[in-house]
Amino acid sequence: MTDRYAVIGHPIGHSKSPLIHSLFAQATGQDIAYTAIEAPLDGFNQTVLGFRADGGRGVNVTLPFKLQAFQIATEPSERARLAGAANCLKFEGDRILADNFDGVGLVRDLQHNLGCPLVGKRVLLLGAGGATRGALLPIAAQGPALVAVANRTADKAHALRRDFAAHAQLLSGGYADLAGQSFDVVI
């Protein structure tokens, strides 16, 4: 029986996830169907629950639904809990397990694939949404000299700094607030 998975977002037409996952499944001999689902902005929960009710086994979650994915979870991982956001949901019976791989994947890609260690670096994250929430602590764990978050709306960046104050020392603000500073890595 074919296992069904999807990526859910809005918009979603740009996603390469169906192609990537289908090729990986083919290469490893797994019988899956992986599709892209564009959920209405006010219909994420209904879309997820409908996909699960139709036999879906799990979903990847992209913008703008990572905070809602965390909220719908019945069992978030520690990474998802710390981030307050999830990019992966797995369905097991009545349980919805959530995790967040944004940060661990990004750090691995930067350090191992690009040869860019973060120790002692000045890092600027652009945006203050779910992906940044998932990336922030794994980046901070690498020992950068500074982590700054800039967002087009400074209030959202300041809220992120407040939410993570116990876990990481951050600068935050709108793009203009951080102008004139130098950074080694911009993400």
**Same CATH topology for 3-100 and 103-186?**
yes
pLDDT, mean of residues 2-11: 97
Q: For strands 146-151 and 170-174, give the pairing.
A: parallel
- Structural domain boundaries in the chain: 3-100, 103-186
Residue type, 55: G
Give residue-wise pLDDT tens across range 82-130.
999 999 999 999 999 999 999 999 999 999 999 999 999 999 999 999 9
Which stretch of DSSP H or E encloses residue 13? none
Which active-site residues does the annotation give?
Answer: 66
* Collapsed DSSP state (helix, strand, coil) of residue 80: helix
- Crossing angle for the helix pair 130-140 and 154-163, to the nearest 10 degrees: 50
Q: Give the mean pLDDT of 123-140.
A: 93
Q: For the domain bounded by 3-100, which CATH number is listed?
A: 3.40.50.10860
6 and 32 in contact (C-beta within 8 Å)?
no
Q: Which CATH architecture has domain 103-186?
A: 3-Layer(aba) Sandwich (3.40)
Contacts of 98-101 spanning 24+ positions with Cβ under 8 A? 98/69, 98/70, 98/72, 98/73, 100/66, 100/70, 100/133, 100/134, 101/134
Task: Give the pLDDT confidence of 40-54 residue by residue, as tens digits.
Answer: 999 999 999 999 999
pTM of the predicted model over 0.85: yes
